[in-house]
Amino acid sequence: MISQNQTLPAVSLTQLTEDGMQTLTNETLFAGKKVVLFAVPGAFTPTCSNAHLPEFITLADKIKANGVDAIYCVSVNDAFVMKAWGEAHNAQEIEMLADGDASFTKALGLDKDTAGFGGVRSTRYAMIVDDQKVTGLFVEQGKEFVVSRAEAVLAEL
């Protein structure tokens, strides 16, 4: 599993924009930026939709006021689902990124197999990334939802 003070692995994520499907590299997403990234097991799932994403939407301005250039939400879903999920929650301050084949999640060592529920998914976590280097890592244990909450991340900025 990736740890604090390590550089993110070079893996691409996708995003559906008005200009079509975009493939985004670590250079594009993280180079020269301070970013908060949070990952959820699945778009449109209960805790993710009722708490995790909404909390980051609510606190986005306060998070960015602490020198954060961007807030990214990542899930092992396709870019179409991530775009629709972001629109359903009016997540204008959050960039919704897809890890469709779980390559980013696996490279971080934060994947889990949910078997019949959905297959390979992401562990719930948040991280602070400064110029591609992880400066804060907050990984939930089991089904907990404590350390990756927006309030908890904000307190670490």
E strands in the chain? 13-17, 20-24, 34-40, 70-75, 95-98, 111-113, 120-122, 125-130, 133-139
Sequence-distant (6+) residues with CB within 8 A of 51 are 145, 149
34-40 and 70-75 beta bridge pairing: parallel
Measure the CA dihedral 40/44/50/54, to 10°. 70
Q: Is 73 a catalytic residue?
A: no
Catalytic-labelled residue, pool 48, 57, 68, 98: 48
In sequence order, the 6+-apart residues with CB closer than 8 A to the CB of 133 are: 5, 6, 7, 8
- What are the catalytic residues? 48
